[in-house]
Amino acid sequence: MNTVKPRGGRAKTIYSCTECGAQSNKWAGQCGSCGAWNAMIEDVALPRSPRNARFTGYAGEPQIHTMADIESLVEVRTATGFSELDRVLGGGMVHGSVILIGGDPGIGKSTLLQQTMAALSERLPTLYVTGEESLQQVSLRAQRLGVPSARLRLLSETQVERILALAIQEQPKVIVIDSIQTVYTSEVQSTPGAVSQVRECAAQLVQFAKQTGTALFLVGHVTKEGALAGPRVLEHMVDTVLYFEGDGSSRYRVIRAVKNRFGAVNEVGVFAMTDRGLREVSNPSAIFVSRHEQPVPGSVIMVTREGSRPLLVEVQALVAESHASNPRRVAVGLDQNRLAMLLAVLQRHAGVVMYDQDVFVNVVGGVRVTETAADLAVLLAALSSLRDRTISNDTVVFGEVGLAGEIRPVQGGEERLREAVQHGFKRVILPKANAPRRAVEGVEIVPVSRLAEVLDCL
């Protein structure tokens, strides 16, 4: 328990909800305010100082305006040097915006920000505040990255008041706080990383960013459950929330916008981690599809979607005679239950039986496909392997398969089609409802609405 006596009063233990930040005097299994279960944790009450009143009260005479009175500000955006990062930010970094970057430890958050800041420091005054690593560690990394960082200014400090005092003096245009869980304020007397600390520090930093027009990147840790550690209120306080994710075994990293006041959400940027830092992958479709010289049985190319961006991936299946009493169903990068369901649909509606076969399905390149648009590709790959028949390697498929054996439309059919055409595919098998009204030049469109029609495609 980290209840230390706050200034000018008795230590008061309260309970804060990690979901909505609501506070209560008693612990409860369910938050009375937002209804979240198991979210109340022990905390220390904020002393009622005028500083804290700042966030609840408004100074000056309030005034009501009509929309017409309000001068619309032009958002000033700066390119970060990574076009993939600019894309998720909605077209560059907005001055005065606060961006929270979350991700597992070791995924590359510090690397990404250090590379970005090195590029930015050539054009703008910047400040990189590190609370986790020593200055030596940061400079070692800079050497390894080979980025020009002579002008990047570093600060190893964790007290938010001292950070802000220096920031006021130095007037940087971009600040990185790596990470928000390590900074603390003397206003709140709990340990760094506690809900009230994180919230109060973030509030002070956000206020500074808004008042001075400084762009602020906050690095946030991710808990085991996958949510940003610290209160969810942090997500409400910032303009943009980005998640940096990737498969531990793969060198590809995806940065995803889950909230963005200055752009679209679910936008993704793709990077590859190399021995010299992160490199952007501007044409991800090219890396995930290995075009075979000759078509091979069991390989099907599909168009999936990552955010608003269509992505070509290869689905491979291997169907081999099983000698076990329980044939194996293994799906890598796909949902295993979905695979079992698709095989059942195949048996029931097309009479293709695989109960005496082991079925392995894999998405090439360590990509995870969670959307149902992969159904058709999985089905065709399994069929192709079972019958040892190939699908020509200039064919692309996408579509959802229903339990009644119907082929259902998926979102973003038009973009998927465009991506396939752009990469030179000549034949697209797709749900009838997704078929374009007009013919597309140089591409054969194969609309399907029933499973039986799919079987004819092989």
Site for ligand TYD in 141-160 (CB under 6 A): 141, 144-145
Specify which residues 178 forms β-bridges with. 130
Nearest to Mg ion of 90, 246 (CB atom): 246
Residue 344, φ and ψ in degrees, nearest 5? -65, -40
Pick from 88, 107, 257, 311: which binds ligand TYD (CB under 6 A)? 107
Place of tokens 């608003």: 308
User: Which partner, Mg ion, ligand TYD, none, binds residue 277 by CB below 5 to 8 Å per kind?
Assistant: ligand TYD
Mark the segment that binds ligand TYD (CB under 6 A) among 37-45, 47-55, 65-73, 268-276.
268-276
Provide the minimum distance between the beta carbon of 244 and ligand TYD in the complex, in angstroms, as a whole number: 7
Do 430 and 445 touch, CB atoms closer than 8 A? Answer: yes
Pick from 110, 185, 196, 204: which binds Mg ion (CB under 5 A)? 110
Residue 155, φ and ψ in degrees, nearest 5? -140, 130
Nearest to Mg ion of 176, 429 (CB atom): 176
Site for Mg ion in 253-272 (CB under 5 A): none
Mark the segment that binds ligand TYD (CB under 6 A) among 61-69, 140-148, 156-164, 188-196.
140-148
Provide the minimum distance between the beta carbon of 48 and Mg ion in the complex, in angstroms, as a whole number: 35
276 part of the interface to ligand TYD, by CB under 6 A: yes
User: Which partner, Mg ion, ligand TYD, none, binds residue 226 by CB below 5 to 8 Å per kind?
Assistant: none
Type of residue numbered 361:
V
Distances (CA, A) of 311 to 303, 368, 395: 5, 12, 15
Mark the segment that binds ligand TYD (CB under 6 A) among 11-19, 100-108, 168-176, 409-417.
100-108
Pick from 35, 105, 351, 424: which binds ligand TYD (CB under 6 A)? 105
**CB-based burial of residue 237 (10 Å sphere; 0-12 exposed, 13-18 middle, 19+ buried)?**
middle
Pick from 273, 287, 352, 440: which binds ligand TYD (CB under 6 A)? 273
Mark the segment that binds ligand TYD (CB under 6 A) among 21-29, 272-280, 360-368, 440-448.
272-280
Site for ligand TYD in 277-316 (CB under 6 A): 277
Chain residue whose CB lies nearest Mg ion: 110
Question: DSSP letter string over 184-239?
Answer: B-TTS-S-TTSHHHHHHHHHHHHHHHHHHT-EEEEEEEB-TTSSBSS-THHHHHSS
Nearest to ligand TYD of 117, 435 (CB atom): 117
Establish whether the linkage from the previous residue to 179 is cis, with ω within 30° of 0: yes
Determine the number of helices (DSSP H) and then strands (DSSP E) in the chain: 12, 23
Mark the segment that binds ligand TYD (CB under 6 A) among 12-20, 21-29, 105-113, 421-429.
105-113
Nearby residues of 79 by Cβ (< 8 Å), 6 or more positions away: 86, 92, 93
Do 241 and 235 touch, CB atoms closer than 8 A? Answer: yes
CA angle (156 as vertex; 153, 191 as ends), nearest 5: 145
Question: If you count them, how many residues does the chain have?
Answer: 458
User: Which partner, ligand TYD, Mg ion, none, binds residue 388 by CB below 5 to 8 Å per kind?
Assistant: none
Of 114, 92, 91, 110, the closest CA to residue 101 belongs to 110
114 part of the interface to Mg ion, by CB under 5 A: no
Which residues contact Mg ion (rule: CB under 5 A)? 110
**What does the binding site for ligand TYD look like in residue numbers (CB under 6 A)?**
103, 105-111, 141, 144-145, 273, 275-277
